[in-house]
């Protein structure tokens, strides 16, 4: 199927040629060009999703109210795209939770379809996980209620409706969750939200000739993943952030359906990764590029002192498309630093593992499998025992990329293709999603340390959302000893 593309123009006037312009809106290119020419850089300042203030509580419970709704959003000048959003037109506000907080995250579904809302990376009971079993019917509300019980990290929330996850995320349903603890508050790291600590939600989208999302992947696109030719950050095309500090901390979230992003700054300017999915790294890691697959997060810090008064760009280098331009102010405040030790992690020992499980990723013709099975909500695939250390080996038998995500708890990556030395330094913290490149086998160490429940179903799956929806997902429960 050949799709027609929207003629797009951003404030930076990147113009992509359309393969066909049959609609009225589209043929009027000159007015789009004029609109872009008259716009200033300010029009495209990076949107920082607001921090959601929890409403006053009765019993010390922080109440967060989120409304899931249909809306329209301006990705382009003078142009509205039909979207979904949470308390807004596209994406959702940022939740900031602290270790020990009792929270109630209250989701109201104002869509015309059933959804769910999962806390990706959250260490919570299965019935609070927001997976496919916690459906939120049209016009009703559902609350995720729990006590925050994990290390500081950057997590996120997104729908997990059986078979519909990819489309609902694509339309705009996702938001960031920032977890803090004594360590994050103690470190001299940048931590002023929206100033020197910014969320950056990375996605790619395909706009049809009417400037709309047309989510209808073919079998081929299910296999390859539904990838768009327009890269967006916080719902904007090539936004500009004005930096006023020497060190800028960026919380990167790959919230795309299937984009594998290889990120790099102008001139390969070095940066420091301080955190991965579920924790700080023990020590900061110096890097010049960062690979992030769908669902993964990375907190990085970039030193802007050599770019004073200039612009530095964050680019996806495989497609060579810009995600974000950072306009560096003429004078920068300089009162943060990167400690050489960030945290201490509990590294379970391989010799304490009592069981090894194998997971084979395979597929054909738009059908995808884990151990030759497609997801079935009625079937429990794996039964784990509380507090038992296990090794999981995930083997990608295909010639395409996958990754592997486990709900409920973090894991550590032990080896790639049997070789511990192949594990990249920047994925040595607590992870919940790991890249499994073509024909690779990745070995991880896993432990479920809470929330045993014979009826509580958690998911494991490939986080390429088309793959997940096409069957590459399974269920586990955690049982008492
Ligand atoms: Cu981010 Cu099972 O999901
Ligand atoms: Cu998850
Ligand atoms: Cu996959």
Residue range 382-432, pLDDT digits in tens: 999 999 999 999 999 999 999 999 999 999 999 999 999 999 999 999 999
Longest dimension (CA), the chain: 69
Q: What's the gap in Å between 167 CA and the centre of ligand 3? A: 16
120 CB under 6 A from ligand 1?
A: yes
φ, ψ of residue 230 to 5 degrees: the values are -115, 120
Q: Which residue bears the tokens 């507090």? A: 387
pLDDT of residue 468: 98
From ligand 3's centre to the CA of 470, what distance in Å? 9
233 Cα to the center of ligand 1, angstroms: 20
Q: Is 161 in the pocket of ligand 1 (CB under 6 A)?
A: no
260-277: pLDDT as tens digits? 999 999 999 999 999 999
The mean pLDDT of 45-72, rounded to a whole number, is 94
Tokens 């590294």 correspond to: 347
pTM of the model: 0.93
Give the position, in ligand 1's atom list, of the atom nearest the Cα of 468. Answer: 2
Question: For 103-117, how does the pLDDT look when each residue is reduced to its tens digit (9 = 90+)?
Answer: 999 999 999 999 999
What is the C-alpha separation between 170 and 256, in angstroms, rounded?
Answer: 8
Q: Which helix (H) or strand (E) holds 182?
A: helix 182-186
196 CA to centre of ligand 1 in angstroms: 28
Rounded CA separation 159/107 (Å)? 11
CA 223 to chain centre: 20
Q: Is 221 helix (H, G, I), strand (E, B) or coil?
A: helix
End-to-end CA distance of the chain: 53
Kindly give the distance from the C-alpha atom of residue 144 to the centroid of ligand 3, in angstroms, as a whole number.
27
pLDDT tens column, 346-393:
999 999 999 999 999 999 989 999 999 999 999 999 999 999 999 999
Instruction: Write out the E strands in 255-372.
Output: 261-265, 271-275, 280-287, 289-292, 297-303, 311-316, 321-333, 355-364, 367-370
Q: Is the CB of 405 under 6 A from ligand 1?
A: yes
> What is the reported pLDDT for 2?
53
Whether 103 contacts 61, CB under 8 Å: yes
Averaged over 288-300, what is the pLDDT? 98
Please state the atom number of ligand 1 nearest to the C-alpha of residue 120. Answer: 1
What residue has token string 């890249």? 435
> Residues 190, 195, 201, 203: is their CA dihedral positive or negative?
negative
Check residues 397 and 43 and name the one with the higher pLDDT.
Answer: 397
How far away, in angstroms, is 121 Cα from ligand 2 center? 6
Q: Whose CA is nearest to atom 1 of ligand 1?
A: 120
> DSSP code of 219?
H
Could you tell me the pLDDT band of residue 25, with boundaries at 50, 70 and 90? Answer: very low
pLDDT, tens digit, 9 for 90 and up, residues 300-342: 999 999 999 999 999 999 999 999 999 999 999 999 999 999 9
12 pLDDT above the threshold of 60: no
- The proportion of the chain whose per-residue pLDDT surpasses 70, expressed as a percent, equals 91
Contact 436, 423 (CB under 8 A): no
DSSP state of 425: G
> Which residues are near ligand 3, the ion (C-beta closer than 5 Å)?
402, 462, 464, 467
> What whole-number distance in Å separates Cα of residue 140 and Cα of residue 106?
10
**What is the overall mean pLDDT for the chain?**
92
Q: Is 158 in the pocket of ligand 1 (CB under 6 A)?
A: yes
C-alpha distances out from residue 193 to 43, 275, 330, Å: 21, 16, 21
Q: Measured from the CA of 473, which atom of ligand 1 is nearest? A: 2
Residue 221 has pLDDT above 70, yes or no: yes
Atom of ligand 1 nearest to the CA of 121: 1
């Amino acid at each position: 199927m050949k799709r027609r593309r929207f003629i797009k123009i951003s404030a930076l006037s990147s113009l992509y040629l359309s393969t066909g312009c049959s609609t009225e809106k589209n043929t009027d290119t000159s007015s789009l060009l004029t609109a872009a020419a008259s716009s200033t850089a300010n029009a495209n300042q990076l949107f920082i999703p607001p921090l959601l203030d929890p409403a006053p509580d009765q019993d010390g419970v922080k109440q967060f109210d989120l409304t899931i709704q249909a809306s329209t959003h301006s990705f382009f000048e003078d142009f509205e795209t039909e979207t979904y959003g949470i308390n807004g037109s596209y994406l959702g506000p940022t939740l900031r939770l602290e270790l020990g907080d009792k929270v109630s995250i209250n989701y109201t579904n104002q869509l015309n379809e059933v959804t769910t809302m999962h806390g990706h990376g959250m260490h919570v009971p299965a019935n609070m996980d927001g997976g496919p079993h916690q459906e939120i019917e049209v016009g009703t509300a559902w609350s995720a209620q729990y006590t925050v019980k994990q290390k500081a990290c950057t997590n996120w929330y997104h729908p997990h409706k059986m078979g519909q996850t990819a489309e609902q995320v694509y339309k705009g349903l996702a938001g960031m969750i920032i977890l803090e603890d004594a360590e994050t508050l103690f470190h001299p790291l940048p931590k002023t939200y929206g100033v020197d600590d910014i969320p950056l939600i990375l996605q790619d989208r395909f706009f049809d000739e009417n400037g709309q999302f047309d989510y209808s992947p073919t079998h081929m696109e299910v296999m390859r993943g539904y990838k768009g030719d327009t890269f967006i950050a916080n719902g904007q095309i090539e936004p500009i952030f004005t930096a006023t500090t020497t060190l800028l901390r960026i919380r990167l979230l790959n919230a795309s359906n299937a984009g594998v992003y290889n990120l790099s700054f102008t001139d390969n300017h070095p940066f420091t990764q301080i955190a991965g999915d579920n924790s700080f790294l023990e020590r900061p890691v110096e890097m010049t590029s960062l690979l992030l697959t769908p669902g993964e997060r990375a907190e990085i810090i970039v030193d802007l002192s050599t770019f004073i008064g200039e612009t530095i760009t964050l680019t996806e280098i495989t497609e060579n498309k810009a995600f974000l331009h950072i306009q560096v102010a003429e004078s920068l405040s300089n009162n943060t630093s990167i400690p050489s030790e960030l945290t201490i992690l509990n590294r379970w020992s391989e010799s304490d593992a009592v069981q090894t499980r194998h997971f084979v990723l395979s597929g054909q013709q738009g059908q995808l499998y884990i151990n030759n099975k497609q997801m079935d909500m009625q079937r429990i695939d794996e039964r784990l025992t509380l507090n038992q250390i296990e090794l999981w080996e995930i083997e990608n038998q295909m010639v395409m990329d996958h990754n592997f995500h486990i709900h409920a708890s973090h894991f550590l990556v032990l080896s790639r293709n049997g070789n511990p030395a192949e594990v990249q330094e920047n994925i040595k913290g607590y992870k919940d999603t790991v890249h499994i490149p073509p024909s690779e086998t990745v070995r991880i160490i896993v432990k479920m340390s809470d929330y045993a429940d014979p009826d509580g179903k958690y998911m494991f799956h490939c986080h390429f959302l088309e793959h997940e929806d096409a069957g590459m997902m399974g269920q586990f429960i955690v049982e008492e000893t």
